[in-house]
Structure 1
Amino acid sequence: MTTSIVRWLSRNDVAQTNLPFTSALDIIEGTLRDHGNGAFENPPKIGIHPGHDAFIHAMAGWLPRQRRAGLKWVAGYSSNHKVCLPNITGLLVLNDPDTGLPICVMDAAYLTAVRTSAASAITSKYLSPPRVDRIAVIGAGLQGLNHVKMLSLVHPAAEFHVVDINENAVSRLAEQTYSKATIVHVKDAESAIRTADVIVTATSRLEDVAFQFGWVKEGGLVLPVNPRGWSQDITTAMDVLLADDVEQFKNYIIATGSPYREISRIRGSVSGVIVGRVAGRVSNADRIAVFNLGLAMHDVAIGSAILDIAEQHGLGTIVSY
């Protein structure tokens, strides 16, 4: 039997590829166009839930135009910080579409953070109000940091109001952005949300309501990284409700017992807006909420770009099997 090989990319290997954020934005926008045009397979994620604050999900994606296929096995444990572990961990397996054989296994924590924030930034590119002066980011962890980095590329003139109970976390975020973005520490979420044009709630899973949709001003765009934590009227009082994938969002509502029971007003997908199949912002005063739960095709696309760089620079470990 012929021996096959697979490239293993550790977290350090993935970091060394140093995928530019501008490239990540282009990749995510391109995959969203594929999604909007139906050129993809991205079945709703399936998962298990070993704890009330934990999930382990399987996410498969196929991009026929790029001929890229893979599966991400990702876990989210919001209490991991108590034992000095990251909240999000996982692996991405990329397969040869011609033979089905695995060609790469890589740590998926970094690519998850990158593709999540890039999806928010591209969403904001197409659905934010015409003028974005202020962006509220609730949470100064890894997702908060990456969202500031990505959104500052789309809205370079915006001021970021970052909310975190730990003032040192906001200071660290400001030091790590490596951009000209202005970072202001705001002590409470309500103050930040009421004056923001774009709102990102980059928090871990929240069981209780922490954010009131009534705080969102006219024209505001709401991007919840974790879908929980908002008052239920985020799905009834908004002018436009969208998701990255409507079928996956509906499955999530059913599977998780989400508090957002009324989703009949969901208009369609972000990708539909991008390709002109779905009406997005009609009025400058529209308040818009977008639930980007995460698309496997984004993971496959970003992971494939990381693999390409790794192969060019000889990064990783080759394993025979």
Structure 2
Amino acid sequence: MNGKLLFLGKADIKSLDIHVEEIIKAIEKGFIDISDGNTELPHKPSIHPRPDCFLRALPGYLKGIDLAGIKWVSAYPTNRQKGLPIVSGLILLNDPQTGLPLSLMEGNWITAWRTAAVSAVAAKHLAVKESATLAICGAGVQGKTHLAALSTVLPHLQRVKIFDPDPAALELFLQQEATAYPDLDLQGVPSAQDAFCKAQVVVTAAPMMSKPLAIIREKNLEPGMLLLPVDLDSYFAASAFKACRTFFSDDTDQLLWLKNQGRFAHVEKIAGDYSQLLSGQIKGRQDNNDCIMAISVGIAMGDLVTAGLIYNRARDRNVGVWLDL
């Protein structure tokens, strides 16, 4: 609508019943579009108003679905002690024809689910096919969305081991998720090392601090393990990186930029990114004994394809509030 902006809050977005399988499918197509050169995804400028905190812009244009927009997102690990979300953000969609804004929507729901969906895409193509044990380090929002997303792409999944340094958060996670996954054996464990033991797929989702925890070492890794850090290099010591056979990423250029900034200092042998993997330009897992790390640095494509799903369904169902510009 000319002169109108559709505002969508979290309750509006949740009411649309968009399932993680839809997001995974849309993101897989988005990676193919990247491979075909049908996207414009600049690097992400950031500001850092407080130590270990940031605000970041993720702009992008997706030619395949003719969608432009930007996410403005913050991450403040100190918010947990204040009872506030660690991550918060907004997404603005624009009409590529006119540049006019189309929709402003709450960004936390999208960030949570698109991140997990990207990890699911990586697991679908890189995990050992018979993977039966998933480990999740971090019983927060990302832990919950990753459980949902990964359980859809790991058909042999039987058990999930969860660690969180906050016992109350871990207990709440187990209480809430056990009823949602009656066919899975959900186990709370006392340490990250216990979570890694005998797991085939591992998600790490700690707060992203300037000084990484670096508590996981080579001895904690299992043959054939797929590592899915969504918290930069927070958990892994140098020996763990060196033990990985190869590395993949959602965006190799941004991973290399982060490496130049001092993160992922020990990452070598980068095979390529998910767009190359899905388009067949590079090979995935070569050996079921190889330990592989698939690093998600976060790109606007996932935010925008998810926001596009939301915007289209909201218009179809007359959900949200139209605001005058």
Q: TM-score w.r.t. structure 2 length? A: 0.93
Q: Deviations over 1:91-144 (max 9, x none)?
A: 000010111111000010000000000110110000001210101111111100
The equivalent residue for 1:190 is 193
Q: How does 1:1-321 map to 2 (within 5 A)?
A: 4-158=3-157, 159-165=159-165, 166=167, 167-175=170-178, 177=180, 180-206=183-209, 207=211, 208-227=213-232, 228-255=234-261, 257-258=262-263, 260-321=264-325
Contact 1:236 1:265 survives alignment (8 Å): no
Structure 2 residue runs of 5 or longer lacking an equivalent are none
- For residue 147 of structure 1, report the CA deviation from its aligned partner: 0.5
Which one-letter code corresponds to 1:148 in the other structure? L
Conserved in 2, the CA contact under 8 Å of 1:242 and 1:268? yes
User: Does the 8 A contact of 1:91 with 1:106 survive in 2?
Assistant: yes
Specify the SS of the correspondent of 2:227.
strand
Which of 159-168 and 18-27 deviates more?
159-168
Aligned to 2:26, what secondary structure does the other structure show? helix
- Larger deviation, residues 267-276 vs 205-214: 205-214
Structure 2 Cα separation of the partners of residues 283 and 184 of structure 1 = 29
Alpha-carbon contact 1:145-1:176 (below 8 Å) kept: no
Task: Work out the CA distance in 2 between the residues paired with 1:249 and 1:191.
Answer: 28
Q: Matched residues in 2 for 1:113 and 1:91: separation?
A: 13
Give the whole-Å Cα distance in 1 for the aligned partners of 2:14 and 2:252.
32
Distance 1:3 1:223, change over 3 A: closer
Deviation of 1:173 (Å): 4.1
The count of corresponding residues between Structure 1 and Structure 2 is 318
Q: 1:275 Cα shift?
A: 1.1
Quote the Cα distance in structure 2 between the aligned partners of 1:235 and 1:274: 24
Distance 1:233 1:35, change over 3 A: farther
Letter of the structure 1 residue corresponding to residue 289 of structure 2? A
Q: Distance in 2 between matches of 1:175 and 1:308?
A: 33
Structure 2: distance between partners of 1:284 and 1:99: 50
How much has 1:164 moved relative to structure 2? 2.0
SS in 2 for 1:89: strand
- Alpha-carbon spacing, 1:170–1:3, altered in 2? closer, same or farther (3 Å): closer
Off by >4 Å, runs of 4+ in structure 1:
none
1:191 partner SS: helix
Partners of 1:178 and 1:199 lie apart in 2 by 18
C-alpha separation between the residues in 2 aligned to 1:36 and 1:213? 33
Contact 1:234 1:289 in 2 (8 A): no
Structure 1 stretches lacking a partner, 5+ long = none
CA drift of 1:265 comes to 2.0
Q: Secondary structure at the match of 1:23?
A: helix
Mapped to 2, the partners of 1:9 and 1:60 lie a distance apart of 19
Percent identical across equivalent pairs?
Answer: 29
Alpha-carbon offset, residue 3 of structure 1? 5.8
State how far apart, in whole Å, the 2-side matches of 1:193 and 1:253 are. Answer: 25
Shift of 1:179: 6.0
What secondary structure sits across from 1:290 in the alignment? Answer: strand
Q: Secondary structure at the match of 2:39?
A: coil
CA distance in 2, matches of 1:29, 1:160: 25
Alpha-carbon distance, 1:281 to partner: 0.8
| Structure 2 letter corresponding to 1:120 | S
Cα 1:214–1:44, aligned 2, differ >3 Å: closer, same or farther? farther
The answer on whether the counterparts of 2:9 and 2:105 sit within 8 Å (CA) in structure 1 is yes
Q: Measure the CA separation in 1 of the matches of 2:143 and 2:270.
A: 26
Q: Residues 88 and 150 from structure 1, CA distance in 2 versus in 1: closer, same or farther, beyond 3 angstroms?
A: same
In 1, the alpha carbon distance for the partners of 2:300 and 2:111 equals: 10
